[in-house]
Structures are given as C-alpha cells and as structure tokens.
Structure 1
Amino acid sequence: MARIFMLSLVAFLAATTLSQAAEIGDDGLHKQPWFSLSFRDVAEDIETAREEGKRLAIVFEQRGCIYCRKMHEEVLSDPQVRDYITANFNVVQYNMFGDEEVTDLDGSSLSEKTAARRWSVVFTPTILFMPEIAPEDGTVGEAAVASMPGAFGKSTFLHMFQWVREKGYEGDEHFQKYHARKLAADGGAMETTE
C-alpha cells in the first residue's frame, strides 16, 4: 500500500512540475506566465515598470532556439531566480524574427525583427536591461544599461539581474568581479548549475 502511495505521489509531483513549465505559444516561443504583456512601446514599458518599483528587461528569443528552451526549463523554472526577477523586473518578450510593431525610445515604429537589428541583437536569448527612466531620445540599444547575450547558468543569470537592480553598472565593480564575489559569498551553492 505504501509503495502505491509513493508511486502516486511521484506521478502527481511530476505532473505538477510539468504543468508549471513554460508553454510554447503560437509564435513558437516559450511563454512564462509572469512575462509582462505590452503594446511594445518601450518608453511606456519603462514607466510602467518604474511605477511598480521595478526595472524593465526585454528578452529576445526565436522559434526552435535550444538555448532559449534551456533558459526556460533550467533557469527561469528555479524558484530563487523566478522569484527575484518577478519581484524586481517586468520582462517583455520579443521575437527576434517577429513582425509585431515596436515603438523605440525615439518614437520610431518598427517590427520586432527590425528592432533586433537596430539594437544589435544577434543571439537568442538576449536580455536588454533598461534604465529606470526612459531617455527622451536615442534607441533602446543606446539606452540599455546592460545586456546578457546567450544562455547562462542559474548563478550567472541571477547575479546579472541583481547587479542591474543594484546599479552595478554605475560603479567601478565590473559584472565579472561582482559575479566572482557573489559566488565566493554563496559558497558556490549555485555554481554547479553553470
């Protein structure tokens, strides 16, 4: 009887875990339920995030991207990473080859794929971290305070979001030094996921 109960419990937990995984949308991109829905006006998205006491992060992905899948399944599914991001950032997803209309900080209207080229996004996933206040001119690519091109392990990913939230880009400590210091302070607890 105990064996049947344990097998049932394992099956239930597996089903629950799978149901919480990111789903794939019609555009072929993984969707997190906590990603922000937006009209893709970057200045408005920055202001909305600021009003909520958060920062805006724009993530570019593409259909069939194995690194995007890894980010969703192995990094964004981690409660520590997910909870930190949702408490401190609004994340808006863009399709690197998409046709949805985007409004850049200078007021230009362009497609997602044109925005990716204009903002020098060439890898997926790439995350662009926006300033707290939208500049009155320029482009997202010029205004971004940091970017994270590619898929990284949990600690690197989390530390980058923490570094941006703490405005590390304004100080003298480069992200790599910050990351090394945080790894040492954490005793390498998340390091095995790199």
Structure 2
Amino acid sequence: MLRNIAKVLMAAMLAAPLSAAELGDDGLHKTAWMRDTFKDLREDLEEANGEGKRLALIFEQRGCIYCTKMHEEVFPRPEISQYIEENFFVVQLNLYGDVEVTDFDGEALAEKDMARKWGVLFTPTILFLPEEVSENVTATEAAVAMMPGAFGGGTTLDMFTWVNEKRYALDNGEDFQRYHARRIRERNNGSAD
C-alpha cells in the first residue's frame, strides 16, 4: 500500500510543471523573469535597452484560464523561460488593475484605463516594443507585434524569437506567419502549436 502511494506521489511530482509561477497578492501569476517596476514605460524601455533586452508588456487578469495555461504549460518550458529571461524585459499589467502606468506619450492612467486606451480586450496579451519610441506615441502605436491570447509553446517561442531577431523589420517577405510555418517545418513535427 505504501509503495503504491509513493508511486502515485512520484508520478504527480513528475507531472507537475518544472517551474510553475506562483500567484501574487493581486491574483496574477508571477515568474522570475517578470520585472516589478514603477510602470513608467520610458524608464522601463531605457532599463531594458541598458540590459540589451527587448521590452514586452503582458496584460493578465485574476482567474484567467488562458493565463494559467501559459504559466503552467508554456512559460515553464526551459527553452521558453530561458529565452525570455535572457532576451526580454517583461512588465506585467493587470487588465483590471489600479496601478498607475505612464505611457510613452506621457499620459498616466490606471492599468485598467490604459488597457481600454490601448484596446486590449483579451488576456494574456503581450505587446512587444522597439528599442526606440518617438515622443507622443502610445505603446500600441509603437508596438512591433502583439500576441493576443494563449498559444502553444512553439508559437510562443517563435513570436519571441521573431521579435528579438527583428524579423518584422527585414525586407525579405517573411512575416510572422511565414516565419512560424518555416520554423514548424524545421522542427519537423508537422503540427503547429
């Protein structure tokens, strides 16, 4: 009987995500690669650039099943979490939060009001920013890509890679969809995730 219990416990431990994010006091998942900042986007961009990383903003909300999916199934994958941590400066925003965010255009609003200003409707939504943002431009106007919703590991890693490699700026006709299709073929698994 004890042997069977030990087997069940071992199986449960092995089935658990490698490094599942913890829930914070705000009910949002927290990962080691998320930054706790004053949410002044110009300062965050400057800090990201200083570290040689790309700024990404991720909107989430309490109780979001798709956020949970990303934090339990996608982000814990070592190749994904390591890539994000090495290449991105990620600031988490709460779709219904009250913390003040200062946009690139200088306007300061609560997270929930900034989400409305930017037209963010789904969680998770990730905005990817360029290294330089002009004055009087909002984050969504400046964004080089937006990832609305939960996606599988391959799609998520491909989006972060596509942005980090600045493929959006290349004049080779390979938009994200073509890039992702090519990466799927290269992985030679024949199915998109």
Name the TM-score, length of structure 1 as normaliser: 0.89
Distance 2:86 2:149 in 1: 23
Q: CA deviation at 1:188?
A: 2.2
Runs of 4+ that moved beyond 4 A? 6-9, 15-19
Helix, strand or coil: the match of 2:93?
A: strand
Report the Cα distance in structure 1 between the residues aligned to 2:61 and 2:126, rounded to whole angstroms: 13
| C-alpha separation in 2, matches of 1:101 and 1:178 | 36
Unaligned runs of 5+ in 2: none
* SS in structure 2 at match of 1:56: strand
CA offset digits 1:9-48 (Å, max 9, x no partner): 927x818956831111111111112211110001111111
Residue aligned with 1:147, SS? strand
Structure 2 Cα separation of the partners of residues 162 and 127 of structure 1: 14
CA–CA separation in structure 2 for the residues paired with 1:149 and 1:16: 28
- Relative to 1, partners in 2 of residues 1:19 and 1:148: Cα closer, same or farther, differing over 3 Å? closer
- CA distance in 2 between counterparts of 1:73 and 1:43 reads 31
Q: Residue 108 and residue 156 in structure 1: after superposition, are their counterparts in 2 closer, same or farther (change >3 A)?
A: same
CA distance in 1, matches of 2:184, 2:104: 35
1:11-160 to 2 correspondences below 5 Å: 14=13, 20-160=19-159
Give the corresponding residue for 2:175: 174
Separation in structure 2 between the aligned mates of residue 61 and residue 83 of structure 1, nearest angstrom = 21
Q: CA deviation at 1:136?
A: 2.0
Matched with 2:10 is: 10
Percent of aligned pairs with the same amino acid: 55
State the AA in 1 paired with 2:10.
V
Q: Report if the CA contact (8 A) 2:35-2:90 is conserved.
A: yes
CA deviation after TM superposition for structure 1 residue 173, in Å: 1.1
Count of residue correspondences: 188
Rate the CA distance shift 1:33–1:116 in 2: closer, same or farther, 3 A. Answer: same
The 8 Å contact of residues 22 and 32 in structure 1, kept in 2 or not, is answered as: yes
Partner Cα separation in structure 2 for residue 126 and residue 79 of structure 1: 21
Return the alpha-carbon distance in structure 2 between the equivalents of residues 137 and 103 of structure 1. 12
Distance 2:178 2:166 in 1: 14
TM-score (norm 2): 0.90
Alignment root-mean-square deviation, CA: 2.2
Query: Distance between the aligned counterparts of 1:46 and 1:60, measured in 2?
Result: 17
